[in-house]
Amino acid sequence: MSDRSLIGLLRRHHMWIPLLPVTMAMAVLLAGAVLDRTVDAFDGQGLRANATVLNARTAEMQGPDGMPTPRYRLLVRFLPARGDAVEAWHDVSRAVFDSATVGQILPVRYVPNSPATAEIIDDTTRGYGWLTWSIGVLLLLAGSGAALVIGRDLPSARRAQQSTRRQTAFVQTHQYTGTKLGDIHLHRMIWTDEQGRPGRSRARKPGDLPAIGKTIVLRADPRTGRLWWEGDL
């Protein structure tokens, strides 16, 4: 007998799919909040110093669209008001990178109680913060949209899952849905109920569907009368 819990129903209706972008959104938004706090620290207590450019390099990182995006970095060294000299790589804009030369002096801004928290003064951190928040919001919207689309039938399915109204039906055929899960073509089952009314299952792997001619059990949504195959509940 299949699992009749709500968790089981959510799993069978693939509600884990929207969780992926939503989980990613939470992580990205958390990173955005950290960047915002860093910007606040720069604005509220940041001190300025002169840094010497020691090296420059480009790298690639994955952009929001999944495509490689160039990353411009400078290795700089500066002496804070208190403590030892700080040497670190910093992301910079393309304009700053193109104009920078080894030995050049650039202004930096740092947090006094944590001099390693520093940026070359071109508002790179603020820009990354805006970009991070934008990506997080887009991921959250994508997850929410996917949840609305994938879960639009869940209320009816849940009512049918809890219903005691049952009837039988006969499997007429298997129909290709035109979609694939990996390399597997998904099919749905077409049935005819006791009154001769047709119905269909959700998309499934062919091996997960009862054979043509088999008798299956349906449950009815007591509010709408919609019939559900028990295997989809």
Residuewise pLDDT in 10s, the chain (233 residues): 455 777 877 888 778 888 889 999 999 999 999 999 999 999 889 999 999 999 999 888 766 556 678 888 999 999 999 889 999 999 888 888 899 999 999 999 999 999 999 988 767 788 888 888 999 999 999 999 988 888 888 888 889 888 888 889 999 989 888 887 778 888 888 999 888 888 888 888 878 888 898 999 999 888 888 898 888 88
Find the Cα–Cα–Cα–Cα dihedral 73, 76, 82, 83, rounded to 10°. Answer: 100
Bridge partners, 167 (sequence order): 218
This prediction has a pTM of 0.69
pLDDT of residue 3: 55
Q: Is 177 exposed, middle or buried (0-12, 13-18, 19+ CB in 10 A)?
A: middle
Position 48 scores a pLDDT of 93
Give the separation between CA 109 and CA 124, rounded to whole angstroms. 11
Q: How far, in Å, CA of 198 to CA of 218, rounded? A: 12
E-assigned strand segments in the chain: 47-62, 68-78, 86-91, 105-111, 114-120, 166-181, 184-193, 198-200, 215-220, 227-229
In the Cβ-directed half-sphere of 23, how many Cα atoms lie within 13 Å? Answer: 6
